[in-house]
Amino acid sequence: MLNFVAACPRCNGAKGARIPTPWAQRRLETRRLSYVGSGDAVRVGERGQLSPDTIPTAARSFVD
């Protein structure tokens, strides 16, 4: 899973974990479209893998 960090519920709460409003979710999806370029991986809440072509060069060393 790309960009996933497991944390305990207390830690998540301390970081202000919350579910974004529908309006905020739409803004996130629009923003993600600008750098992902396809509708496959932009839905908020989905944790699908990105193709290697869409992963920035600096992040590839962490994924491989």
Find all residues with CB under 8 Å of 45, minimum gap 6, and list them. 25
The pTM of the full predicted model, rounded to 2 decimals, is: 0.41
CA 34 vs CA 16, 18, 55, 56: distances in Å: 26, 24, 14, 14
DSSP 13-34: HHTT--PPPHHHHHHHHHHHHH
pLDDT digits (tens, 9 = 90+) for 2-56: 555 666 777 777 777 677 788 888 888 888 888 776 666 666 665 556 566 655 5
All structural domains of the chain with their residue ranges:
9-63
pLDDT digits (tens, 9 = 90+) for 54-64: 555 555 455 45
